[in-house]
Structure 1
Amino acid sequence: MSKVDRRIAKSQKAIKKAVIELMSEKSFDAITIQDIADRANVNRGTIYLHYTDKYDLLDKMIEEHMNNLKELCQSAAELTFEEGNYVWYEYFESNSVFFTTMLDSKGAPLFRSRFLELVIEETKVDVDVTAGKNSGFHEDVILQFFGTAIVGAVEWWFKNGMPLPARVMAEQTGALLDRNLD
């Protein structure tokens, strides 16, 4: 993998930060490339050098976080739900501005659906409908139920200003998942 020029990385970081800041102030549809350029202190051409348009920029930002969460899942594969959740909640906490804005913004409904898809995909490996409490249930119903519960808990956490520490959220959501997936 080639090393990214520091100037490019610095510009991209400023552009992404500008988008998040602007989305916390107004709807995504109302944001222009010029708004982003002004806030990031870069030329419009710099944005177009890296992104087709503002939708491409937002899509790449979302994709970057989804990929990071997938990598966290892979690296935490041998952990309990609680510990695996803690890894996620730590990531959420360290990227709270992004997640708060994405889950709160009317301009990014795509984020929530992609987040739900990721949660369902990652939960699927732990769902067994052939034995235990979930025997006989349709797998898709179980996955939608747990996926929506997880996304809902994360949304609640952010919308309420993260009232509980990441460790507590991980412990409680992990315990709820553990006892319902046995």
Structure 2
Amino acid sequence: MTRKTDLRVIKTREGIRRAFLELIREKGYDAITIQDIAERSMTNRNTFYLHYTDKKDLLETVTDEVLDALTGKLTVVIAQKSDQFLMSQAIIRIVFEHVLEHSVFCKAMLGKHEVPRFHDKMKQIIHHIFHQVLNQNHSQLQDSKGIPNDFLENCLSSLYIGTIVWWVEHDFHYSAEQMTAIMSEVITKGPIQAAGFIRSERV
């Protein structure tokens, strides 16, 4: 009996969340009402309030689950990888794979009717990850020509968010593997050299 109840609760929550994300894509977060969510999920207002306090609570719950999972994955990589290059590659790959895994969610959060708060939260996570990476490898970065770490952290996190938004807008036309290769090329060479304006010094 308990298992049936649990499965019913899980199914109800999934229906509410799916309806919520669909509505964000259609009309934007601010325009959504609890009644809209209840009707789309084929439940009722009372059922909604059994699971969530309000739509802000629903947004924060769904967002925290997705971003906490991403943070956990990236934290493991930082702890396990000692080689800076391999660590950077792993971070790039995991971010794209995670976004693709939660593509429906990311389309709602970063699509036409994007939710700015999510945009900011995700940027903060990526910014914090690069802060850890750069500080962890501080001794190897003494010859960075005087470029402040916080400037690099901001540039890299902004580049990531902009790229992810572009990927979402293009309906994930490229695979996570392709995006990892593209991002790696741009980060390693820089936009100018990656675009072919400056030739590589390699012989």
TM tier relative to shorter chain: 0.7 to 0.9
Cα displacement string for residues 72-114 of structure 1 (whole angstroms, at most 9, x for unaligned residues):
1123332532233222212211211211221124451101000
The number of residue pairs the alignment matches comes to 178
Helix, strand or coil for the counterpart of 2:39?
A: helix
Greater RCO, CA 8 A, separation 6+: 1
The structural deviation recorded for 1:49 is: 1.4
The percentage of counterpart residues that share the same residue type is 28
2:96 and 2:143 map into 1 onto residues whose CA distance is 27
Normalising by structure 1, what TM-score? 0.87
Helix, strand or coil for the counterpart of 2:19?
A: helix
What runs of 5+ residues in structure 1 fail to find an aligned partner? none
Preserved contact between residue 26 and residue 113 of structure 2 (Cα < 8 Å)? no
RMSD of the TM alignment (CA)? 2.2
Structure 1 window deviating more from structure 2 (164-173 vs 116-125): it is: 164-173
Helix, strand or coil for the counterpart of 1:52?
A: coil
Preserved contact between residue 23 and residue 101 of structure 1 (Cα < 8 Å)? yes
2:143 and 2:165 map into 1 onto residues whose CA distance is 27
What runs of 5+ residues in structure 2 fail to find an aligned partner? 191-203
Larger Rg: 2
> Residue in 1 aligned with 2:201?
none
Normalising by structure 2, what TM-score? 0.78
Preserved contact between residue 27 and residue 107 of structure 1 (Cα < 8 Å)? yes
Helix, strand or coil for the counterpart of 1:127?
A: helix
The structural deviation recorded for 1:133 is: 5.1
Which letter maps to 1:111?
Answer: F
Preserved contact between residue 102 and residue 111 of structure 1 (Cα < 8 Å)? yes
2:160 and 2:20 map into 1 onto residues whose CA distance is 26
Question: What are the equivalent positions in structure 2 for 1:95-114 lying under 5 Å apart?
Answer: 95-106=102-113, 108-114=115-121
